[in-house]
Amino acid sequence: MLKAERQDLILEYLSKDKKVLLDEISKVLKVSEDTVRRDIKELSDKGMLKAVRGGAVQWHSMPVHFKDRQHIDIPHKKIIAEKVLEYIKQGMVLLVDSGTSALAVVSNFPKDIALTVVTNSFPVVSILEDHKEIEVLFIGGVLNKISFSTTGYETIQAIRNIRADVCLLGICCIDLSSGVTGDGYEDSLIKRVMVETSKRTIALSTSDKLGTSDSFYICAANDLDIIITEADPKSDYLKAYTDAGIEVR
């Protein structure tokens, strides 16, 4: 079967099921998973689908509004939120971005922990209203109605005046070659400056975002100090990240 025929069939299956899995589609096409993986990467580079770990999904099936994303992968985000706690110490200054994984982490903070949280996220601010020991610095700017956060020049300049102990960074996509990337230009600029001004960056990423890339560059993969996923850190597919000098939890 020609490559073009394989890719047409991949897109056909995708249109029916909204996703394709490597192991299943490779059997249908009677080729190796590596061959299908290369086909999916080509189609992803052309913007015809979104590659994820273990297969692909339709671009338009990926919710972008915060209200939609907030209800995706809830059990996995809870695992990530639990793992993060060992890195959060009393008295720290945290930069918290507007991702739903970051919100899950903040929602899991103990009520008696004393921190300073700097954020551009309205949902994060709302959660921290009930934490008497946490001082909240909300960064103003232009309202992004999709992410419920602020963006723009004023937001970036305010972040540049902060030297946080830890940045909690929600990840859209991460690949060792392409780096950390996002699907929104303004949001990616905010994430970039958060990484640049923080002493340590903890990436919060469900495992399906590993090995994927998007349109807007945030930082190199090895600019991250720690990657926290819901997966077992000893999993084979995480070894490449530890080999690159990134702590994986």
Total domains in the chain come to 2
pLDDT of residue 81: 96
Q: Looking at the structure, do residues 114 and 207 belong to the same domain, yes or no?
A: yes
Global pTM exceeds 0.75: yes
Q: pLDDT band for 209, please (50, 70, 90 cuts).
A: confident
CATH number of the domain enclosing 182: 3.40.50.1360
Q: Count how many residues are written for the chain.
A: 249
Residue 121 structure tokens: 């996220």
* Candidate from 121-130, 158-167, 204-213, 221-230 with smallest mean pLDDT: 204-213
Q: pLDDT band for 68, please (50, 70, 90 cuts).
A: low
CATH number of the domain enclosing 31: 1.10.10.10
Return the DSSP state at 223: G
Residue of 141, 143, 174 whose CA lies nearest to 241: 174
User: In the block, which residue shows the tokens 């077992």?
Assistant: 232
Residue of 24, 1, 189, 165 whose CA lies nearest to 89: 165
Residue 40 vs residue 65, higher pLDDT: 40
pLDDT of residue 60: 56
Residue 110 structure tokens: 């103990």
Q: How many CA atoms lie within 13 A of 168 on its CB side?
A: 31
Beta strands in 81-187 (DSSP E): 93-96, 115-119, 134-138, 142-144, 149-151, 166-170, 173-175, 179-182
Q: pLDDT band for 57, please (50, 70, 90 cuts).
A: confident
Mean pLDDT of the chain: 91
Q: Looking at the structure, do residues 90 and 208 belong to the same domain, yes or no?
A: yes
pLDDT digits (tens, 9 = 90+) for 113-153: 999 999 999 999 999 999 999 999 999 999 998 889 999 99
Question: By residue range, what is the domain housing residue 116?
Answer: 67-248
Distance CA 127, CA 116 (A): 14
Q: Looking at the structure, do residues 18 and 119 belong to the same domain, yes or no?
A: no
Q: Looking at the structure, do residues 57 and 73 belong to the same domain, yes or no?
A: no
